[in-house]
Structure 1
Amino acid sequence: MQAWEGGLFRRGFRDATDLHEAITQSLHDYILSNATGPVDQEGLIAKAKALIPVERQNQHSATMLELVIVGGPFQQILRPIEMESPDLGEELQQKALFGDSRLLDRTKGSVVALDGPDLLVQQDRGGSIRLTEQGAVAFRLSLEDTETKDRMSGFGGMLIIEEIVRERLQSALRYAAATLERIDPTQRLTHLGIAAFVSGGEYRTWKTRAQQTSMGGSLQMGMGQADRAPISIVIRRAALRLDRTPLIEDILVPLRRQFS
């Protein structure tokens, strides 16, 4: 029997040998989580928010989900030479296009390149994924719903569909978990600061698919909150894998409230 409770992962055991292995692994995880010093939660949140692009007001742009995950204690995880590795860039690109956590549009071209010290996977006028030397992962993902847009003669572009936001969060968090295991298998990063924001959301209306269907062809333009700011949360790294569903809700619900 396994469970996630109170920020800790609890598991059962079959016999004495299994119990011994579980205790050894748990002690190892505990030592790792405390070996690098205390975590500055406010600092993690500040660093995550700083990686979200500044939104230009009163300028029409595509609606995008901005999601940033910064690990702590804050430290260098990847050396500059590792950031230049073609294998790392290709792996990130392939995972984003064809993996279980597909995030980018396979019908569009994508480019992998260094952007300053960061490694960037980007599509022209599309999504992007940024990886820093400190192991931070920043996503910029389209929230466009082509089906709704076509059905409503283009006005569907004024809608933010909740199910699409949820899908993007699910895929991005899964991608981030796999990426962290790839670049930091010894778990030097024990906590994660997460910031999320919907850019290009001015005048958009937030609806579920059921609500959108009941609207027929009508549309009431939304205003959203004039002072919208990124929402943020700090979690233990293990929650990214073991407690993902509640984590998605903890991000999605505050985002939705900004459009109510």
Structure 2
Amino acid sequence: MKIFISSLITGLEPLRTAAREAVTQLGHEAVMAEDFGAQPNSPQVACLQGLRSSGLVVLILGAGYGAKQSSGISPTHEEYREAKDRRPVIAFVQEGVTRDADQEAFVREVQAWDTGLFRDGFTSPGQLKALITRRLHEWEVANAAGAVDERDLLQRAIGMMPEDERGYSRHGHEIALAVSAGPRQPILRPSVLEDETFQEELLQASLFGPNKLFSSSQPTVAGIDNHALVISHADGRGRIKLDGEGNLLLVLPLTESGNGMVILEENVTERMTASLRYAAWLLDRIDQTQRLTHVALAAILTGGEHLVWRTQAEQNASPNSYSMGSMRGEHKPVHLAPGHRSRPAIKHQADQLVEDLVTLLRREWRGR
């Protein structure tokens, strides 16, 4: 596997040498700016291309920040921001040095990144080499699963929706989001899914956490159904279903708008955003070493055959005048193309993913 070494070059030569040795001794290929040679592109474009061709990034932060580019940040900072949405990043922070203000802010940004793999401190090249060796080995062990089957990933996301989510739900207007995860492997033992403390943690997060889904004014209970943990809200109007492979189904009721048979796009967007945020939190909770590297998303709207899709502005303009359509045929799930995404995308590109899924839902709804 190619591993990109990201750091300021000048003044950190011994540290970069230690990183190269750790990577190559484990049988991987170190991708480093020093090895690029003459390039038709700028040095920074060459570095970003090298990063994009790598499967993992080792980030080393010393005392200096480096010269700022046209983007307003240093090349190492650009590399980090490019990588954190798309690649696993293992960061190492040099201790016992005086950092300039920009580098101090950069270190704080990395340390605050709650989905990063590891953030270790070191003082010498020898200690850095030992830490990189250990962390890469731990990552290899944690990710010793098969390759991601993109087709299977998407089929599982679509297939996770129960039959009533594919047609006309008995619970009223709902939005269902399925998140399948890969490579396919066991993540949660049956005893963990049954553990009352674990169930209560997920239930409480759905009611009171920063990524809450449900109102505490309605009853919410947790239990096991067909070997999966199911959290049921308001007698089933809201549901969370989690299986042992980390696959997740979230079903949320759409807010009653007082507009009769009208679905408001803003409400769909808000519910989709809440679902995706909870899914990202839950994956980080159950798989902290990121054995699951990719996800597929599928979504569907349910709840009646005579419904009008509108924006709030459209509804305000003519609240009592709209044409009632007739839903022909069965509701169909929508999904992105390509069907899978890297796991960090559901957190760092959440707004874009929600916008795309809502657009596809609107097309599907109005087209039926």
Alpha-carbon displacement from aligned partner over 1:51-71 (angstroms, at most 9, x marks no partner): 112147577751110111010
> Does 1:142 find its partner at 2:253?
yes
Q: 1:88 aligns with which of 194, 198, 212?
A: 198
2:86 aligns with 8
1:178 partner amino acid: W
Q: CA 1:174–1:210 in 2, change beyond 3 Å: closer, same or farther?
A: same
Q: Which moved more, 1:76-85 or 1:196-205?
A: 196-205
The TM-score with structure 1 as length reference comes to: 0.84
Q: CA 1:204–1:241 in 2, change beyond 3 Å: closer, same or farther?
A: same
Alpha-carbon displacement from aligned partner over 1:90-127 (angstroms, at most 9, x marks no partner): 01111111111121122111111111211111021420
1:200 aligns with 303
> Does 1:245 find its partner at 2:358?
no
Higher-Rg structure is: 2
How many Å apart are 1:143 and its aligned residue? Answer: 1.1
1:212-227 paired onto structure 2 within 5 Å: 212-224=315-327, 226-227=329-330
1:152 aligns with none
1:153 aligns with none
1:66-77 paired onto structure 2 within 5 Å: 66-77=176-187
CA distance in 2, matches of 1:114, 1:125: 14
CA distance in 1, matches of 2:156, 2:320: 42
2:340 aligns with 234
1:230 partner amino acid: P
2:274 aligns with 171
Q: CA 1:4–1:33 in 2, change beyond 3 Å: closer, same or farther?
A: farther
Alpha-carbon displacement from aligned partner over 1:145-167 (angstroms, at most 9, x marks no partner): 3xx31xxxxxx241111111111
Q: CA 1:252–1:59 in 2, change beyond 3 Å: closer, same or farther?
A: closer
Q: Is the 8 A contact 2:169 2:302 kept in 1?
A: no
Greater relative contact order, per chain length (Cα 8 Å cut-off, separation 6+): 1
Task: Could you tell me which runs of 5 or more consecutive residues in structure 2 were left unpaired when the two chains were aligned.
Answer: 1-76, 90-101, 111-118, 121-127
Partner SS, residue 130 of structure 1: strand
2:344 partner amino acid: A
2:159 aligns with 50
How many Å apart are 1:218 and its aligned residue? Answer: 2.2
Partner SS, residue 241 of structure 2: strand
How many Å apart are 1:223 and its aligned residue? Answer: 2.9
Q: CA 1:57–1:73 in 2, change beyond 3 Å: closer, same or farther?
A: closer
2:292 aligns with 189
Q: CA 1:173–1:226 in 2, change beyond 3 Å: closer, same or farther?
A: same
Q: Is the 8 A contact 1:32 1:188 kept in 2?
A: no
2:226 aligns with 116
Q: CA RMSD in A?
A: 3.1
